[in-house]
Amino acid sequence: MSRFLNARYETLEPYTPGEQPKNAGKLIKLNTNENPYPPAPGVVAVIDDRKLVDLKLYSDPEAAALTEAIADFFGLRKGQVIAGNGSDEILAFIFMALQGKSGKVYYPEISYSFYPVYCDIFGAKGIKVPLGADFAVEPADYFHKDGTIVITNPNAPTGRALSRAEIESILEANRDNLVVIDEAYVDFGAESAVGLIGRYDNLLVVQTFSKSRSLAGARIGYALGNEAVIADLNRIKFSFNPYNLNRLSILAGIEAIKDRAYFEETRGRIIKTREAFTAELSALGFHVLPSKANFVFAASDRISGGAYFAALRKFNILVRHFDDEKIANYVRITIGTPKEMRSLIAATKQILESGAAASEGLNG
Ligand SMILES: *Cc1c(COP(=O)(O)O)cnc(C)c1O
């Protein structure tokens, strides 16, 4: 820490991103929920030398062509959409500015681990709402709050989803609170709240191109909601970083969202792989939470989460393990290609068969 840091950041605990290893080519990388399939073909085709030369010019601060393409995809008006440098940036703007009058933000105790960091950096009072049995988010626990509510649906890292009716019950019971639904994984089988935007001016839906659109490296996220709330977010954006989306990402995003067939094809494949993989891992005795995301959250009595993570690593398979003691027995496994998941199952069988599992499990 330098002597120049303002005292209010001295205790800030930054978010820990999943590892992005340098030798990723040699690894089966199932730790940060990236899509195993490449971006839509149009994305690759649109970026040519000319577009690279255009980088000498600023990008469109409104990213209008992209927000229009997003609005078109959802049947919304352009004013109901704002794009950001990843949905992380959009979430940052929300925690910065849309904390409501009370400055309180409610979110599930186990959820996206960036939320408490944003509360910390932006001075919001984060309130963790406990989960029900088997990590279920209980809608009634969010009724009649006095601040903003942020719910990841499907939740991370559990993969469990609320129905649209359950989300609506939370909206109904919080007419004067903003309810943010972080739908980073919604395209893998959960019900989106986007259809409720016309009826609830307190709803803000956040989505990303990082998972279901295979563009994690392009950093494109967006929020959908009531025009007044989107205008507030634009107020923050234009006070912070007007050119928040670069020219190449805008082009890539437009191509990705236009290609509905590719989107349907790739997300369908991932859902199918997830279901087959869940059955296989369950057959090995794992407790696998019912997932509507492109990952599963799983634990076994025969090996601790930490030991399983470390053992897979020896097979060059990278998954995610969280230290939080409530979930320390679990690992989060991203759904990759069928071949990658077969390798993981084969490695798991070997790990369980080698006596190492039991003893390492006790130590881990
Ligand atoms: C991946 C993820 C995001 C961030 O996505 P980016 O658009 O890549 O910034 C937001 N929320 C949740 C719950 C995520 O898992």
C-alpha 32 to ligand 1 mean position (Å): 10
Beta strands in the chain (DSSP E): 28-29, 81-85, 104-108, 125-129, 148-152, 179-182, 203-208, 220-225, 287-288, 295-299, 317-318, 330-334
For ligand 1, whether the C-beta of 182 sits within 6 Å is yes
Percent of the chain with pLDDT over 70: 97
Say if ligand 1 is within 6 A of residue 208 CB. yes
Say if domain 19-37+261-360 classifies as CATH 3.10.105.10. no
For the chain, give every residue range classified as CATH 3.40.640.10: 41-258
Which of 16-25, 113-122, 157-166 has the least mean pLDDT?
Answer: 16-25
Statement: 41-258 belongs to CATH 3.40.640.10 = yes
- In the chain, CATH 3.90.1150.10 covers 19-37+261-360
pTM above 0.75, yes or no: yes
Q: What is the mean pLDDT of the chain?
A: 95
Ligand 1 centroid to 33 CA: how many Å? 9
Phi, psi of 318, deg, nearest 5:
-105, 120
Calculate how far, in angstroms, residue 170's C-alpha sits from the geometric centre of ligand 1.
22
Q: Which residues contact 37 (CB under 8 A, 6 or more apart)?
A: 214, 266, 269, 270, 337
Span from the CA of 187 to the centroid of ligand 1 (angstroms): 13
pLDDT tens-digit series, residues 181-212: 999 999 999 999 999 999 999 999 999 999 99
Q: Which tens digits make up the pLDDT trace of 74-116?
A: 999 999 999 999 999 999 999 999 998 999 999 999 999 999 9
Q: Among 93, 158, 210, 297, name the best residue to mutate to test ligand 1's pocket (greatest count of ligand atoms within 8 A of Cβ).
A: 210
The answer to whether the CB of 34 is under 6 A from ligand 1 is no
The alpha carbon of 302 and the centre of ligand 1 are apart by a number of angstroms equal to 31
